[in-house]
Copies of this chain bind each other. A is one copy, B any other.
């Protein structure tokens, strides 16, 4: 880690997650931390501000920086709990088993083209997977990606980590994601694949993921078993 503020951020995050600092604990002030890492106050502040945004700590003038309740950053999920962007950083993506139902190239339709900002009939990967946890299916994941941006995807890569492939093998940097979620009645496929009764609903999450140059590279629609998935977000006022 060549960047100082990220080193400080990672260090403190690890200490909080490992339990070295407990809920309510005061963590070192900026000047102390600056001496410890050999850097200025501003650099420590930048690191701490990320921790604030992610719900690890809160800070008060005149008092200090305190560790927040662990329930705010739900890395450890009770059932399956997806945290905002966790799919990227560390966690759920690739967790548990996955069953590949379909992997082919198709022509983009209007909707896909619009989300991926490509032309209608441009080629896209069409990937359909069911993810399992303890042999129970909990989500059907439909993914579209343009091979022009993400070349060389194989079944093998899909069974491993697609995001590792994109970042490490292709050397691309993932920047942001837009997720929209709603409830829906289950359809026949949902019922079959997720072991749902007709009356049981699904939680739908539509995601568009972007590279750090704002080019969309993935459009996906996930349909989750209503009782096996919860989606959490923590957000701080600016």
Contact = CB atoms under 8 A, between A and B. Distances in A.
Contacts of A231: 180-182
A68 B214 contact: yes
Contacts of A66: 214
A177 B54 CA distance: 11
Interface stretch (A96-104, A119-127, A143-151, A197-205): A197-205
The size bracket of the interface on A is 35 or more
A226 to B, nearest CB: 4
Nearest to A24: B214
A72 B181 CA distance: 14
A108 to B, nearest CB: 18
A181 B230 contact: yes
A237 B89 contact: yes
Contact of A236 (B175, B179, B233): B175
Interface string A170-207: 00001111111111110000000000001111110000
A199 B199 contact: yes
Given A214-B66, A230-B180, A235 B85 contact: yes
Contacts of A179: 232-235
Given A232-B179, A233-B84, A237-B85, A185 B213 contact: no
Given A181-B181, A184-B201, A201-B226, 16 more contacts: A54-B238, A58-B176, A58-B213, A60-B213, A66-B214, A71-B178, A176-B237, A179-B233, A181-B231, A181-B232, A182-B203, A182-B229, A183-B202, A183-B226, A185-B199, A199-B199
17 contacts: A55-B176, A66-B214, A85-B235, A175-B236, A178-B232, A179-B233, A180-B232, A181-B231, A181-B233, A182-B203, A182-B229, A183-B201, A183-B226, A184-B201, A185-B199, A199-B199, A201-B201
